[in-house]
Amino acid sequence: MHEYLAKAAKLTGVELPALEEASKTSDKLLKNYKKRLYEKLSKDTPEDMDKTDIVLLGSIARGEASPKSDCDYYVLQHGAPANTTRRLTMAMERVLKDLEVRKPGAQGVFGEIVVAANLYESIGLELDSNTNMTRRVLLLSESKPLTEGATHETVFDHILSRYCADYTPPNRSKDSEARVPRYLLNDLVRYWRTMAVDFGTKRWRDGDSNLRLAKLRITRKILFAGPLATVLLTDQKIRTNDQLQDYLKESLAAPPLAQLARHIDLLEDDSREAMGILLQNYDQFIGILSGEQRSVLEGKGSAKSREELKKQCRVIGDKIQSSLEQIFYNDRLFKDTFQKYAVF
């Protein structure tokens, strides 16, 4: 479990058994995927591996996986020849088949070759599709390289450089006073709103999904809240803009829940209590996703069991919502900056 979560759990006096187990499971899955991938590549090692990476996203990258978790990934291509990315894609598909892991969804976000330059050159305007934005924000918020990681780090840096351009030379002097980076903040808000709108479309098209709704209200909301906390605290954490990119890189490297929990010792008493409630309920939901109850959320089991679990997840989501409102709306650490930047 991430050190920020462990610290927050200790300070709030809560236990996080499901998150501790999920962290161990995530590490095991990551190591197993990596081992099997390199076994597949051992007789046919691609050239220019330093120009491409397989990037894992989702619960494994966040350290919240169960043995039955999906494997969301894409092949990040940054100048590698087509044969290199093709071999990596085919090798990863064979790994998932051998392990009987479900392939990424049919939306086209995952399981594809992603041209890295699109992530940092096409921000905003018509070329920045929902798919491109999703891949970019998830790379910043919840990603881990399965391969060596050089391309992942380079592209991470290029994306942040683009977001920070208005605050660094030649647009401003390197020692200018640090400010909240609106460009990045607006894209985080855009991504969260897009997830919510897309959920509405999927529910309209496919009907209700208890699992999809619960994830939107809990894990997806924290996926937004963690980086939001990081960005909103920029001018409180650093003094000058020459520190901006390093601050964002170091902070965003932590999973979203850890980014939020990181600031536990700076919160007022009411907000610290709210953080404890948030962590307990998030842990409870991770326990649901990791056990047999997950299948009930997916539509199996009796109507009674589905309704009871739906209500349980609603309560969890409501408690997390109330906790976030206390932390962002009422605590002196966030409230002024939140009011100034988060909506208008």
Spans of the chain below 70 pLDDT? 105-108
Specify whether the CB–CB gap between 65 and 28 falls below 8 A: no
CA distance 45 to 41: 5
Q: What is the structure's pLDDT at 309? A: 92
Helices and strands: H and E segment counts in the chain: 17, 4
DSSP 8-state class, residue 74: E
Give the predicted TM-score (pTM) of the model. 0.94
Tens digits of residue pLDDT in 146-191: 999 999 999 999 999 999 999 988 888 888 999 999 999 999 999 9
**Peptide bond connecting 256 to the previous residue in cis, omega within 30 degrees of 0:** no
Find the radius of gyration of the CA atoms of the chain.
20
Phi (first) and psi of residue 292, to 5 degrees:
-70, -25
Q: What is the structure's pLDDT at 14? A: 97
User: Under DSSP, is residue 144 helix (H, G, I), strand (E, B) or coil?
Assistant: strand
Q: What is the structure's pLDDT at 296? A: 85
Instruction: Name which of 161, 156, 141, 194 is nearest 76 in CA terms.
Output: 156
Q: Is 162 exposed, middle or buried (0-12, 13-18, 19+ CB in 10 A)?
A: middle
Tens digits of residue pLDDT in 52-85: 999 999 999 999 999 888 899 999 999 999 889 9
